Amino acid sequence: MPETNQNLISENLSIAVTLANKGYYLCQLSNPLQDPSQNTIHCYGQTQEHAIAIALEQLADRYRQIAEDKQNVDMLTVERSPDGEAISKLYHVILHFECTIDAESKFEAMHDTIMGNTVVENGKITVIGVSEDLPFADILELGA
């Protein structure tokens, strides 16, 4: 008989996409979050895939927030060594930005978004501390 991992977390997601009025697609994503008010996400999209992508992003946003909140770290706290030197740590920084934009082409929409600081100013930033020995942590070090 195979051994079972007592630390295994298993959650089931349910995704249902239906054609709604006016040709839009409605995605209903049910998830196992503890808060019953957040158990179902309802999103409209231009296509089935678009509706699913929006719902999954909303779910990811909820889990990013849970991960950050569970660390319960004061943003301004600096850990110091016994001799007073600041201790550098590794953080996974996630910048998420979404908007709709009126443009003449897909390229113009992308270009107009890239110009200026709109993405950084209006983006949602999540900062999660990670261990140096986390597998693939080097992939997360984009600036190194």
Encode pLDDT of 30-49 as tens digits. 876 666 666 789 999 999 99
Place of tokens 């990670």: 130
Confidence label for 87 from pLDDT (cuts 50, 70 and 90): very high
Residues 6 or more apart whose Cβ sits within 8 Å of residue 100: none
Kindly report the pTM of this predicted structure.
0.74
Across the range 64-77, mean pLDDT stands at 90
Place of tokens 């930033």: 125
Across the range 7-15, mean pLDDT stands at 75
- Residue 44 pLDDT: 93
Name which residue leads in pLDDT, 92 or 137: 92
